[in-house]
Amino acid sequence: MSKKPEVNAAELRARYPDVFDRPASSRLATPMMLVAALAIFVFGLVDLDFSPSRFISGLSQLGWISMMMIPPDPGSSLPLYLKALGETLSIALLGTTLAALLALPVSLFAARNVVPSILLRFPVRRFLDSIRGVDTLIWALVWINVVGLGPFAGVLAIAISDFGAFGKLFSEAIEGADRKQVEGIRAAGGSALHEIRFGLMPQVLPVIAGQVLYFIESNTRSATIIGIVGAGGIGLQLAEQIRVLEWQKVSFLILMILVAVAAIDYISGKLRFAIIGRRAVA
């Protein structure tokens, strides 16, 4: 090896001016963005009535509330709460299943490799998008108007808002499926339905099952809150106890929710591993 070539800083500088002197616009971009972000933040604090005195008095209130939450105590309403928790789990399970059953046929119409015609695909997709754009809580309010207060409205609310999400996810899973099996079925003389049943479904069902299980998990969380607007489940109890300032019961209910969510996470994680294999998940 020869010795190192002489490095001439001045020459390098002349040859690569961009590296040494970045233009002011690119040097200032990041600080400008930070300043803008900070400005919006400060404007937001002012516009949303943040005042230090209010914040501090609120914090001391919150401290009092947390003190009164200890120890968590259900009083005499433990059976009622257990029933409400069962209701919540039922809402999540039924709503997700219903959504999956409804979404499976519709998602076929939104998948590019099943329905090549954009005329049919486009409206189906936009329809699913608009359903997804409306929050579960809003759907719950709408269904309460239709079937009355109670957990059934919650089931329907979860079903319809997940229908939008599943439609999109399933159609993406179908589009990701391998083309070869479908072609094989067609070459053997199968009809379009045969192609879907024997070519696509075996490929996408494990993916779909994993997604459904994941949604049951996340819907347990959603189902805890739709009760706040009156659609059944543990959220109803929680909102009521908060309104009447029964803080020990509130903290007990929150603990119940945490435990239930953790349990469902654990079970559905196990099931997902069993269905799609450990490697596919991790």
Among 7, 9, 47, 279, binds other proteins (CB under 8 A): 47
Q: Give yes or no for a contact between 216 and 92, defined as CB atoms under 8 angstroms apart.
A: yes
Residue 232 is a binding residue for other proteins (CB under 8 A): yes
Among 134, 124, 130, CA closest to 158: 134
Output 124 or 156, the one with its CB closest to other proteins: 156
Please identify which residue in 90, 113, 181, 203 interacts with other proteins, judged by CB under 8 A. 90
Quick one: which of 81, 111, 151, 199 contacts other proteins (CB under 8 A)? 151
Residue 79 amino acid letter: P
Per-residue interface string for the shown chain with other proteins, residues 162-191, x marking contact by CB under 8 A: ------------------------------
**Which listed residue (114, 196, 238, 264) binds other proteins by CB under 8 A?**
238
Any alpha helices (H) in the chain, and if so which ranges?
9-15, 17-20, 24-47, 52-69, 78-110, 118-133, 136-147, 151-175, 179-187, 192-194, 201-226, 234-243, 247-276, 278-281
Site for other proteins contains 199 (CB under 8 A)? no
> In angstroms, rounded to a whole number, what is the distance separating the alpha carbons of residues 277 and 282?
9
Of 232, 227, 178, nearest to 201 by C-alpha is 178
d(CA 95, CA 109): 22
Please give the residue ranges that form the binding site for other proteins (CB under 8 A).
37, 40-41, 43-45, 47-50, 54-55, 58-59, 61-62, 65, 86-87, 89-91, 93-94, 97, 129-130, 133-135, 137-138, 141-143, 145-148, 150-152, 154-156, 221-222, 224-225, 228-229, 232, 235, 238-239, 242, 245, 250, 254, 257-258, 261-262
